[in-house]
Amino acid sequence: MDVTVVVGAGSIGQAIARRVSYDRHVLLADLKQDAADEAAQVLERAGYRTSATTVNVSDRGAVQALVRQATALGDVKALIQAAGVSPSQAPVAAILKVDLFGTAMLLEEFGQVIAPGGCGIVISSQSGYRLPALTAEEDAELATAPADALLDLPVVRAVAVTLTPYQLSKRCNSLRVRGEAVKWGARGARMNAISPGIIVTPLAHDELNGERAAFYRNMLAQSPAGHAGTPDEVAALAALIMGPEGGYISGSDFLIDGGVAASWYYGPLRPQPQ
């Protein structure tokens, strides 16, 4: 049986799995077993065949164990990487280890087993689009350096506190799919990313009511769309990219943020000169 692997069993990962996993076994992996179990139960009650397990995406051994579990179930036809931590959840070191290194390493490992005709999708973030431009050399390093070398790159070691490590990690995610698309293509598979804005999930609910609530609510109010997105809207885009109609799409990142980035650069959200 063909297999969809979902890493990060939250709302977005589940929504995408529903769209792309017809007649497949869905393996849901999360840092917490109860979160994976809950997601698996929801999908199983909707008619999907599921399994649930744990994985720490910053631990190569754990990811390799997940790969073995997935390939034992069948041919891996889809990887949905929806795991990550935000600045409100974790310190700088953890953000870089999980969002930057973890994603790159996950793509390396699954890139060795993805089946012909398969497709991977990374859920990144609009935050990567708010990071100032990097040099061509820095872009190339983030796209192609071995995952184990990423945290020692000068551009990574230079990041400070605030949002910069998160923005850099998400920029790396966007660049990483370009480098990995070449390798996945050699196996007849594709790799892409989606960079959502504020999507209505439990995390977004916390952020919209937390210490930075005013910042996020203003971001939504000043965006062209004027509101947050939903997991199903992200999943609809993912289904297009990962399905047969997206067969010519690989190595790309798709921004779905209600126009927040547009407003950040050219509208009322544009930072004012100091």
Q: Looking at residue 207, what is its pLDDT?
A: 73
Which 3-state string (H, E, C) describes 7-33?
ECCCHHHHHHHHHHCCCCEEEEEECCH
Q: Looking at residue 162, what is its pLDDT?
A: 60
Q: Looking at residue 160, what is its pLDDT?
A: 62
255-262: average pLDDT: 97
- Tens of pLDDT, residue by residue over 129-152, are 999 899 999 999 999 999 999 999
* 170 annotated active-site: yes
Structure tokens at 181: 């698309």
- Tens of pLDDT, residue by residue over 78-108, are 999 999 988 777 888 999 999 999 999 999 9
Question: How many angstroms from the chain centroid is the CA of residue 241?
Answer: 14
51 three-class SS: strand
Catalytic residue, candidates 170, 183, 248, 266: 170
Residue 181 to residue 48: CA distance in whole angstroms: 29
Query: How high is the mean pLDDT of the chain?
Result: 94
Order of strands across the sheet that contains 253-256: 49-54, 25-30, 2-7, 75-81, 119-123, 190-196, 253-256
Q: How confident is the model at residue 238 (pLDDT cuts 50, 70, 90)?
A: very high
CA-nearest of 39, 52, 165 to 101 is: 165
Lowest pLDDT segment from 87-91, 111-115, 229-233 = 87-91
Q: How many residues does the chain have?
A: 274
Residue 256 to residue 123: CA distance in whole angstroms: 11
Strands 25-30 and 49-54: parallel
At 222, the amino acid letter reads: Q
Return the H-helix or E-strand segment holding 213: helix 213-221
**Percentage of the chain lying above the pLDDT 70 cut:** 98
Return the H-helix or E-strand segment holding 206: helix 202-208
**Domains of the chain as residue ranges with CATH:** 2-263 (3.40.50.720)
Catalytic residue, candidates 32, 129, 166, 216: 166
Q: Looking at residue 201, what is its pLDDT?
A: 85
249-255: average pLDDT: 98
Within 13 Å of residue 55, how many CA atoms lie on the same side as its CB?
A: 35
Q: Looking at residue 88, what is its pLDDT?
A: 75
**Percentage of the chain lying above the pLDDT 90 cut:** 84
* 248 annotated active-site: no
Is the pLDDT score of 232 beyond 60? yes
Q: Looking at residue 271, what is its pLDDT?
A: 86
